[in-house]
Amino acid sequence: MTHPRARVALHPDFRVGPIDRRLFGSFVEHLGRAVYTGIYEPGHAAADEHGFRRDVADLTRELGVTMLRYPGGNFVSNYRWEDGVGPVEDRKPFLDLAWRTVEPNLVGTDEFLQWAEREGFEPMMAVNLGTRGVEAAAALVEYCNGEAGTRWADLRIANGRTEPYGVHLWCLGNEMDGPWQIGHKDAHEYGKLAAEAGKAMKLVDPSISLVVCGSSSMQMDTFGEWEQTVLSYTYDLVDHVSMHAYYEELDGDRASFLGSGTAMDRFIDRVVASADAVGARRRSDKKITISFDEWNVWYLESRFPGETNLPVQRDAPRIIEDVYSALDAVVVGDLLVTLLNHADRVPVAALAQLVNVIAPIMTEPGGEAWRQPTFHPFATTARLAHGEALDVRVDCPTTTTKRHGDVPLVTAAATHDAETGALALFLTNRSAEPVAVDVEHLGLGVELTEGWRMVADHEAAVEGPAHARKVVDACWSAVDLAAHVSASSRTTTVTLAPESWTALAGTVRTA
């Protein structure tokens, strides 16, 4: 029986662009158990003196996360940041309208930023442009980044923090194109508000970078038109436009799910085209880049009842706690392949979310923290992908899917660190059969030294650490290089398991 075969051509002289470490960001929103009993649980055996769980922080570092977006998400559009600073005993709980949850207000701006600073994660802050606007946004920048001698900076100092936090990256609201958003606006309303808020924020601190809201998904009725209208108001002011996308298996359509990376690829291309069209009309040499600050596998249509169907709840309810399979992990790995291949235009990204809520890390209140299967491809990519993304060329068969049309059976991304000579190669086999991939590296000596792979399963995911460990034991393993890789001076052939994601690391030298 003849199995499919693919060809991948790579050379360090052909590059997409440098890998920005912020590509490996994540997201902490006041939603469900992401904060309370997620990153923060006073009284837990692993809690530090500030109430934050050390076991979660350790797993976050192991995951390779560099940056964390906060405090939302939909939550931010109904949030008064001033209510979450100062003595905790003076703060009042309030009803979060986005997730219909009583927010206890124990963690706010200072607690989060100081935790991120202690643990070495860059913060990415969002301002409320739903129910609030210019004044509150500028005040928050002043609170975070201002020097002593002004109202909001002095309030920060009075609250115990003398030095500015120096938050560099700021989101101008969240998903403002979405009718579900508290304070939803049309593109003209939002574009004008974002421009004025961003202008005021940069008058407070000219060094900051701004992310303007793009479409919440490629399926939005206003997609494309939204980007062009919003950027017509904000192009000269902002640095990035946001993208959000979630993927899931629907109606047992495994082939379409495995092809999700192709949908992400097309989404990025279309947003880039929309942004560049605005720049061309303005005769601008500036390039707006993308902050893909929400992406993941999320069973949004098949498992989540919708925000309006949630009862009002207290005490960190269990909301959107998807459990993941090895198939989900393969798709996450393939989405990372897509992000790497757009490194020139996607310097910032955030896996949504970090803990408990559609997350690679799960916790039990008072109990352990564990890794979901999706943890492993993200952590491995963050560990291996350094230097620059290479412009790899893939020649392979395609398959037709119901949701995405024709998609390639094999996807590939590669990175090269010129300083160390390190090479990393990431390969996805979307086929139900093994595929032999001939990696051509003419004029180069390539030596592979390690590899890891996730092979999709056919079992339903089950909640709990025991099942997660069972999936990982069965589906995540080191690559037997002797059995699955053969090399010559011009070509390295890698045999990929059916429905799998593979990461290979080694060195490259000029032959």
So which residues are the catalytic ones?
175, 294
Q: At what angle do helices 465-475 and 326-341 cross, to 10 degrees?
A: 70
Extended beta strands in 4-127, E state: 5-9, 15-18, 25-27, 67-70, 94-96, 101-103, 122-127
DSSP 67: E
In 10 A of CB 27, how many CB atoms? Answer: 30
Give the integer Cα–Cα distance in Å for 511 and 440.
13
Query: CA 335, 338, 344, 346 torsion: positive or negative?
Result: negative
In 10 A of CB 42, how many CB atoms? Answer: 13
HSE-CB of 96 using CA atoms within 13 angstroms: 30
Taking Cα atoms as reference points, which of 239, 291, 261 lies closest to residue 410? Answer: 261
Q: Is 434 left (phi over 0), alpha (psi -120 to 50) or beta?
A: beta
Q: Which residues, including other chains, have CB under 8 Å from residue 340's CB and lie 6 or more apart?
A: 16, 19, 23, 381, 385, 389, 413, 415, 426
User: What strands, in cross-sheet order, belong to the sheet with 5-9?
Assistant: 393-395, 5-9, 435-440, 491-496, 485-487
